[in-house]
Amino acid sequence: MENEVDHLDSNSHPYPKLPASEMPLEVDILKLINVSHKDQGVSFVEGPIKNFPAYKFRLLYGNVPLKNSSKVIESMNNPRGFTVVFLYRQQRHNLGTLLSLNSPGRLTPWFLLTSNLKTGILTLKYRLKNSNKMNQIDWNLLKSHRKSPLAAWHWLSLSMDFQDGLIRLDLDCSPSAFEPIPLKIHGEPVKIGFPKDALVYFHQEPGRKKKFLGSMQVAKVLPYVTQKRLWNCAEISENLEPQLQKPQL
């Protein structure tokens, strides 16, 4: 089985191959788009988690929006909340989109997650159904240590908890970051959810803007909020030594 646990000891994560191994009710975007090294602009690369495929996306690749986006929308419309998980290595100075949800014919997103290695910023933008306000949150990305190729990969899990009104970001081995979701607008409860006819764009926005260039081993949507980090860290803290900034494998 692909999620078989091997060499488990008391100090390791109970599922050491997460987040690459199969998780309950997951929507695996890389499987959904049926990506292959035979696709133009795609090649196999070695990812941090052994025995699981990873793919490098170059400029020529353009298989967006997703042809079957209903599974993604359904997962992200869970009234309790959802989680997106990515494991990626981005080309230097690239401003790339990880995931974008847009109404047909509209450039303004409902949900947009971008990684900018030029500025070192991870940005989330999102809108709520009964509000025209675009909410934006920025987080700092750890600087990549290019001398170690596997250390240049970013481990990212972002949950939107609609019950508690909270966004949680787990990034590498930094402390979890929390941001509030406004659950009331002018005293009225907000309407949570995304339009069922929304288009889902992976690795770029509509109009082929902000195309992600780099490698990806995990791109998943979970129809629930994760309460724990999906990977094992020797230490979770700010300003870690380079050898401790990434998960243990």
Distance CA 226, CA 160 (A): 9
At residue 160, the 3 state secondary structure works out as: strand
pLDDT computed for residue 4 by the predictor: 28
End-to-end CA distance of the chain: 19
Query: What pLDDT, on a 0 to 100 scale, did the predictor assign at position 22?
Result: 94
CB 8 within 8 A of CB 18: no
Are residues 240 and 103 in contact, defined by beta-carbon separation less than 8 angstroms?
Answer: no
Q: Decide if 84 contacts 206 (C-beta within 8 A).
A: no
Element (H, E) at 179: strand 177-180
Q: Give, as one character, the DSSP assignment of residue 32.
A: H
Collect the ranges in the chain with pLDDT lower than 70.
1-16, 63-64, 144-147
| pLDDT at site 112 | 97
- Cα→Cα distances 171→3, 92, 146, 206, 236, Å: 22, 18, 18, 26, 10
What pTM did the predictor assign? 0.90
DSSP structural state of residue 76: H
The pLDDT assigned to 145 comes to 61
Strand partners, 139: 122
Domains of the chain: 29-227 (2.60.120.200)
Q: What is the distance between the alpha carbons of residues 214 and 167, in angstroms, rounded to a whole number?
A: 26
pLDDT the model gives residue 146: 60
Amino acid at 180: P
Token pair, residue 104, equals 């047909």
